[in-house]
Amino acid sequence: MPMPLHSSSGGPVPVPGRIATRSGLPPAVRRLTGDLAGAARDLEEGLSIYRDIGNRSAEAEALNETGTLYRASGDLVQAEAYHQQALDLAREIGIAWDEAHALAGLARCALAAGRPAEAAGTLRQALEIFQRIGAAEAADVAAELAVLPGTPGPASTRS
C-alpha cells in the first residue's frame, strides 16, 4: 500500500476526485453507509485542508459534497447554503464541472423543498454545462428533468 502524500504543513495532499481526510475514508462512503456525523467531520476537515493549501477546486468539490450530506440529513437550508458557496466559488475560479454540480445540488434542494419549477430551471442550467463539457452526468440530469412534474420531456433538454 503506497504511503500517503503530505503537504508542507504535514497534512495529506488531496487526491483529485477524493476529499482528503486524515481517516482516509471518503466522506461519500460514510454518507452512503449512514454515518452522517462521521461524513460531516471528514468534510469539515477536508475543507480546512483545502483552504490551508489553497486548493480552491477541491474546496468547491468539498462544499458540494457537504451540501449533499445536509440534503441527505434533511437540512435543506444548510444544504442550499453549501451548494451556493460551491457555486459562487466555482464561478469565481472558472471550474464548469463544479459549477454544474452546485447547480444540480441546488435544484435537488429546491425539489425537496417543494419548488419543482425552480428545480427544473436550475437543472436545465446544470444540464447545459454538463453537455457543453461532455460530462457523463448530463444523462442523469436529463433523466431527472424528464420526470419532474410539469416539465417537458427529454426531447426538450437536448442541445
Q: What is the DSSP string of 31-91?
A: HHTT-HHHHHHHHHHHHHHHHHHT-HHHHHHHHHHHHHHHHHHT-HHHHHHHHHHHHHHHH
The domain limits of the chain are: 27-157
69, 40 Cβ separation under 8 angstroms = yes
* Residue in 67, 68, 50 with CA at minimum distance from that of residue 59: 50
Would you state the cell numbers that stand for residue 96, as one nine-digit string? 464548469
159 residues of the chain, pLDDT tens digit each: 232 333 334 443 333 344 544 444 456 655 566 677 877 888 888 889 899 999 999 999 999 999 998 998 899 999 999 999 999 999 999 999 999 999 999 999 999 999 999 999 999 999 999 999 999 999 999 999 999 876 655 444 444
Instruction: Please measure the distance between the N-terminal and C-terminal CA atoms of the chain and give it in whole angstroms.
Output: 45
Q: Write down the CATH superfamily of domain 27-157.
A: Tetratricopeptide repeat domain (1.25.40.10)
- The Cα–Cα gap between 43 and 45 comes to 5
Q: Give the per-residue pLDDT at 39.
A: 78
Q: Give the per-residue pLDDT at 111.
A: 96
- The Cα–Cα gap between 65 and 50 comes to 14
Total-model pTM: 0.76
